[in-house]
Structure formats: C-alpha cells, structure tokens
Structure 1
Amino acid sequence: MNAVTLEHTDVRGLPLAYADFGGSGRPVLALHGHFGRARMFAPLAAALAPGHRVIALEQRAHGRSGRDGNVHPDAYLEDAAAFLRGLDAGPAVVLGHSSGGVTAFRLAARYPELVDALIVEDHGALNRQPDIPHPVLDISDWPRRAGSLAELRRAVESRGIPDASYFLESATEYPDGWGFLFDLDELMESQRRLVGDWWPDWLGSTCPALLVHGTDSFVLPTAMARAMAERRPGTTLREFPGCGHWVHDDDPAGFAGAVAEFLAAL
C-alpha cells in the first residue's frame, strides 16, 4: 500500500497518530480493528472524495500511536470521543472495522452528540464462545523478530494465516530484524478484553446505521448480522457473498459503493 502521511496529536495524555485524507465535506471518523493501521482506509477515502473528509485514527497500541498499557475497550472508546472533540469534527459519521466497529457503536451509544450516523464493518454484538468459536486470535507464538519481511510473512502464514498482508501493514524493520509495530502480548490482552456481550451498546443508539457483513466471515455469523439489523431500528444490512471479515479488501469497490450509498441517503 502506498505511504500515507500521519499526523500526531495528544489524546488524553497519549500521542496518537491519524491520517486526515482531506476535503471539506462531511467528516467520517474511521477506526481500524485489532492489528490494523489508519492507512487501510486510503482507498475508501479516495472513493468518497471530495464529498466526505475521511479521518482515520491510528488507535492506541497500534501503528505509530503511543501505548500506556491500557487496552480496555473503554480506553479505545474515550480516545475516539476525545479525538473527535479535539478536532471539533463532531457530530460525525463514525465507521469502524472489526473491533473498531465495537468502539464505533459504543461511541454512538455513550456519546450520541458526537455521532450522527454509524457504519460497522463485520463485528457482532456478541463476541464470546460458543456463538463465536474463536473470539481471540492466538498470536502468542508469532516471532518477535525475523531476518527479512519475507521471512516474517512465512512465519505468520505457517501459523494458519492464509494471507498475512493485513498484519504486515504493521511490520517494520528494527536494528535487530523485522517485527511488528504492535506488541504481541498487549494485543492478546486487548482481544481478551473485547470478549463479551455488547448487545446493550449496539441497541443503545438511534442514529442511522449501516452494518456491512461478509458472509464468509469467521467473526460475524450471518444469523447474528441479521438479528442485529432486525433488533435495531434504522439499521441497514449489506451482505457481501463470498467476502470474509475484511470486506474492504475482498471487494473494495463494493464496500465503497455501499458506504457511499448509505451516506448519500442521510
């Protein structure tokens, strides 16, 4: 992926990076999921320009943002709220992928004055066994360092990841080899903290919402996606057959089109 310029700001005492893709249109705050980076939203930002200004936050413990050891879901939530207030960009459309989607719908529930529409890409209102067989991706044995980027890819893919490209967006070269910008133990803990029942927050807002679901997802079962849309008034469900958890990668044009259509109808 092409380089994306990151800016930095102090959010609740922690330096957080973000990518402001520019434009004078309606602001869209974009929140990546676990292991993600702000730059994953560059294609969407290009597709939505110039009518929307996409601002992607690189969340705590990820990418070039700072860490303080706190990876509780409330920390991500309060960061997003403070970031929006600091930009004076609210109320905004808030879009989140995966765990970023949980932060997004919790933000809409807890701080409705900051959110006038919600887009959640492939995460459920329930994130625990047996409904979700594997709510935590075990990365505890991934290498801390590898001799090359290709070696790091091979090591990750040898652990059951078919394509490590998403994770390698967070790879960088250190003096002692290639590794990740995130800490493996910290993101294991972050995932464990997200295990639970998030239905009250999903149902706790009234703004228009778009739920994007890849029918081959291992994170959000189709039955749960349909129940989420049925139980929450004002929610539109868009299903993408043949797509998995990363709809924005599996069908970039379709994903951008669904988002654009939803935004146009607001």
Structure 2
Amino acid sequence: MRRGSFEHDNLIFSFLDSGGDGKPLLALHGHWMGASDFEDLAADLAPMWRVVALDQRGFGESDHTDRHALLAYVSDALALLDHLGITAPMPVIGHSFGGIVAYHMAAQHPQRVACMVIEDIGVEIEDDSAPFVTPWAGTYRLREELEAKLGPRLAPYLQKSIQRCPEGWRLNFEPDEFLRSERATNGDHWSVWLASRCPALVVGGRASRVCDSEHLKAMADKRTHTTLALLDAGHSVHVDARKEFAKACQTFMGSAQ
C-alpha cells in the first residue's frame, strides 16, 4: 500500500491506498491501531477491491489533537474521500472504534456509503480503559520493555503501533489522547445504528472480550438489510481469522453492490 497525506481541519492526516483498478472501499481502524492494520486485508481483497485506509486523528502518522468527537471523525473520513476524488457510494469496513465511525457516517451521509462491515463493536458503549492504558505512556529504552508493559495478550496486536524515536521506543498514539477518543465514542448509539438503510454485515469474534455475541445478534435482528457472521476469533477478527474475514467481506460486498 502506498502512503499519502492531506490537510483537513488544520491537521495533517496520513492514509494508505492499495491503488489499482479495483472498486474503492474505505477501511477505518480501531483504537490503538492505524491504517497499516489493513495491509493484509488489502492484499487478500486485491485486485477486485482498492482499499483506502485512514490513520484517524491522533493515531498512526496523523496529527495529534485535543479535538475528538464523532462528527469530527466522520468529517475526516469524508475529507479523505474528497481528497481522492471518490464521490460515488462505497463500502466502509470499520473495526471497533472505526465501526462506530462507519455507522455514524452511514446515518449522516447515506449517499456516500453503499454498504458497511461492522467488525466486533456494539451500539451500547461504556468503556473505561484508563486503568491499564495510562501506564503505557512514555518512552522505553528497549522495544521489549514497551512490549512487556503492553502485556503478552495485547503486544502482538499493537506491533504496528510501536515506533522508534531518538530516545527509544514509544506508541504512535498518546494514551491520554486515546482516552479522550474513548470518551467521545461512549454512549447509546442505537438510534444512529437504526437510522441508515444500506446493507450491513456485523462480524463478531466468538472469543472477543469486547463484544457479546448476543448484543451483535440483536443489532442484526433489529436493523433491516443486516446479517451477522460469528468467526472463531477475538476482538481483532481480521487478524485472528484473516482468510475467513476477507472471504466474508468479499461475499457480502459482492452481493451488496
């Protein structure tokens, strides 16, 4: 994937674009992650699909800011599409935090979203990650010291979020800024979820510690044109069940076009 950048809302945003002649789709990452989290998915969906993945504000190589709100996240995604000249409705894949942005985007701008894949995130969000995320802040002399702080369960998923700096190793997001983003996405989103009409696929991981499968089933049951797929994976379904997730997306997006 090729990296590019653009300016919006007085911030510089970074993104990855797999290019090619495939149909474009937008991919929105979860908290702690970034656009590079979708490099494998882009390879699996090529050449039929051109994956455009945004580093959302405060994550990856995009600028940090104290301005975090759902309206801003949706505006950032639209600004990327405008930058690339993509105006036709397109599929949107959103993992976790990115899934919340995706279904808000579908509700607010239905003319831009052809269909959506919502990966392991619900519509009743009340998270407080401060107790275990706050200690991640700072710079570590050795990469292994930061990985030890993240812990053996999470460190493998955050490999692409670890960056080298002159003093050592650090995360490419600020834990305090992430917590502002977490607070911005907390709340009851049922009305937003039910407001859009485009086809949707809700994908959950059977071993997820974030989402309850019964809640995801209720999301699919209560919304029209929505189906549910549960795969043998944790919260990052596209990582734990890479091939199965890509196949589910291909089948769904092919039938939704």
Q: TM-score, normalised by structure 2?
A: 0.94
Work out which of the residue numbers 73, 94, 104 in structure 2 matches 1:106. 104
* SS at 1:169 equivalent: helix
SS class of match (1:6): strand
Tell me what 1:32 maps to: 29
Residue number among 139, 145, 149 corresponding to 2:143 in the alignment: 149
Q: 142, 154, 157: which is aligned to 1:166?
A: 157
Structure 2 unmatched runs, 5+: none
Q: Report the counterpart of residue 251 of structure 1 in structure 2.
A: 241
1:263 corresponds to which residue? 253
Aligned with residue 67 of structure 2, among 57, 65, 70: 70
Retained in 2: the 8 A contact 1:44–1:256? yes
Greater mean alpha carbon deviation, residues 83-92 or residues 101-110: 83-92
TM, length-normalised to structure 1:
0.91
Name which of structure 1's ranges 95-104 and 59-68 shifts more when overlaid on structure 2. Answer: 59-68
Q: Which runs of 4+ in 1 moved over 6 A?
A: none
Return the alpha-carbon distance in structure 2 between the equivalents of residues 259 and 136 of structure 1.
30
- RMSD over aligned Cα atoms: 1.3
Moved more, 226-235 or 180-189: 180-189
Query: Matched residues in 2 for 1:32 and 1:118: separation?
Result: 14
Cα shift at 1:36: 0.8
Deviations 1:37-96 (A, max 9, x none): 111111111111111110001111001101231122221111112222232213111110
Q: Output aligned runs, 1:175-186, within 5 Å.
A: 175-186=166-177
Aligned counterpart, 1:94:
92
Contact 1:17 1:64 in 2 (8 A): yes
* Percent identity for Structure 1 against Structure 2: 37
- Whole-angstrom CA distance in 2 between matches of 1:176 and 1:17: 24
1: CA distance, partners of 2:23 / 2:166: 42
Displacement after TM superposition at 1:11 (Å)? 2.3
In structure 1, runs of 5+ residues without a counterpart are: 129-134
2:41 paired with 1:44? yes
| Cα distance between partner residues in 2 of 1:84 and 1:112 | 14
Once the two structures are superposed, the pairs formed by residues 210-249 of structure 1 within 5 Å of their partners are 210-241=201-232, 243-249=233-239
What is the SS of the residue equivalent to 1:19? Answer: strand
- What is the CA deviation profile of residues 222-261 of structure 1, one whole-angstrom value per residue up to 9, with x for unaligned ones? 11100000000001110113x1101111110000010011
Matched letter for residue 153 of structure 1: E
Aligned partners of 1:143 and 1:155 also within 8 Å: no
SS state of the match for residue 134, structure 2?
A: coil
Give the equivalent residue in structure 2 for 1:132: none
Cα distance, 1:216 vs. partner? 1.6
